[in-house]
Structure 1
């Protein structure tokens, strides 16, 4: 990956001043350990399953998630070791992070629940696009989608006005990003980057979250992250088309999302398949 910018010192310090007053989802130690093990050249499956198995609540939720029709399994998953065999270590990590993040965000209000449900659909859509196009790492795409709304979920704690701004942002994804900074003195991209780093997500995922609202997806400002950002924007677009029928597709909205589809190089047959897949999720 070519080098891309990350938040500057002033941006980070300003964001920290805001989020230190908020309830921030802390990463469970088990997730930190699992992520460390996944980064090692020789995967130690026994250690990974051992760490997850130490947390009874996490184990139960992971097994429940692994049995979901979403993964298309034809056999019952009864143990973490079994889950590794049928899902693979990386997919198990993906489920574990999802379960742990949801637990860390609880209790959620109605707005948070809505964003969480949307994020899960976007994450799953991102994974489908990555597999279908071969342009993006599937695991990174899933995580970028899952954490795409995390900055919004935190910043909504600052003011009731934020929820109104967020809904406007659906139709005005670029200009509303600037209004956001005026309202809360930071923005979802920087806050999302910080939380993604806190959760030890891969650097491309953290950087993609930070660049998610760049006006351009050119290599000059996002390096090689364009397809990853494009996958998240595209999955978000189709989630909104299916789940939120009242989103106004302004010229800014269309420009924002058309560039994303171009970046991930979606042909019409693949786009049609993707639309059907997204419809099946809701």
Structure 2
């Protein structure tokens, strides 16, 4: 476990030690993640890993040729997709498909949580691109992963989870704030533990831990803090738009939330930001949800 994780995640070891069964990252996603975490990545090997699963490969090609990416020519092979999309984009596409398999989409709550996760990914990427404050692909992945701890608790104890959803309206606070009253750890703590278990980078582990709040440790790496702020603002946008299992439950406006983040230095018109994100979301969400 990395020192930075130990420094900011004192509960992480406890969580991992006390839980017998954490969800496993699908084999093909784990293999791809291991390859991309190496210092020297092999494009042909990445294409081979994806092509080894014909169903996954077909899904990748279908989405790669969709209007979401907007290429002028058809992508016919996984190797073409690797070259044209780039390794990070392809990683995100495969991880999106792999994580989707963890959700039981026949369950309304899990389906809405998956839609919310995709919206967080889109929102984080949109903010990163609009304000040039982080790598858009890293921002997408950070948003995509932010709800994984919540999914774990929903599947482990749906009764307690639905009580959390019900109580947040009465309590006028977020699901994250209420989660410690219904579960041993908060959603963000559980998510960070799962990502550490899956061997994601310490940056993404810490981003998940702090993605529900604008206040971060002073010694936290600036790039990690920026990423966590993007996911936090994306959560706020989704909350305002009632996407997934979210709905506005506090008295703070979007402008007040923005003023607590790195985006406070930007000249942002909250309603314009909300409208632009909503237009992007409505245009692309169905393509991503069907991946």
TM above 0.5, yes or no, is: yes
Aligned to 1:235: 234
Normalised by the length of structure 2, the TM-score is 0.80
In structure 1, C-alpha distance between the alignment counterparts of 2:258 and 2:93, rounded to whole Å: 30
Does 1:95 pair with 2:93?
Answer: yes
- When residues 264 and 222 of structure 1 are mapped into structure 2, their CA distance, relative to the original with a 3 A threshold, is farther
Is this contact kept in 2: 1:25–1:101, CA < 8 A? Answer: no
- When residues 101 and 68 of structure 1 are mapped into structure 2, their CA distance, relative to the original with a 3 A threshold, is same
Once the two structures are TM-superposed, the CA of residue 82 in structure 1 deviates from its matched residue by 1.6
Normalised by the length of structure 1, the TM-score is 0.83
Cα deviation digits, residues 32-82 of structure 1 (max 9, x gap): 222222233332111110111111122122222222322222332222112
Unaligned 5+ runs, structure 1: none
- When residues 240 and 279 of structure 1 are mapped into structure 2, their CA distance, relative to the original with a 3 A threshold, is farther
SS of equivalent residue, structure 2 residue 92: helix
SS of equivalent residue, structure 1 residue 98: helix
Q: Give the alignment partner of residue 6 of structure 1, picking from 5, 8, 11.
A: 8
Superposed, 1:266-277 pairs within 5 Å as: 266-268=266-268, 272=272, 275-277=275-277
In structure 1, C-alpha distance between the alignment counterparts of 2:98 and 2:42, rounded to whole Å: 21
Cα deviation digits, residues 65-118 of structure 1 (max 9, x gap): 222322222332222112112211110111011101112334551101101011
- When residues 77 and 166 of structure 1 are mapped into structure 2, their CA distance, relative to the original with a 3 A threshold, is farther
- When residues 42 and 238 of structure 1 are mapped into structure 2, their CA distance, relative to the original with a 3 A threshold, is same
Aligned to 1:250: 250
Cα deviation digits, residues 181-214 of structure 1 (max 9, x gap): 2321111112101222233322211111112234
- When residues 121 and 281 of structure 1 are mapped into structure 2, their CA distance, relative to the original with a 3 A threshold, is same
Aligned residues: 274
In structure 1, C-alpha distance between the alignment counterparts of 2:167 and 2:70, rounded to whole Å: 36
Does 1:226 pair with 2:225?
Answer: yes
Is this contact kept in 1: 2:104–2:110, CA < 8 A? Answer: no
Q: Compute the RMSD of aligned alpha carbons.
A: 3.1
Once the two structures are TM-superposed, the CA of residue 256 in structure 1 deviates from its matched residue by 7.3
Is this contact kept in 2: 1:126–1:231, CA < 8 A? Answer: yes
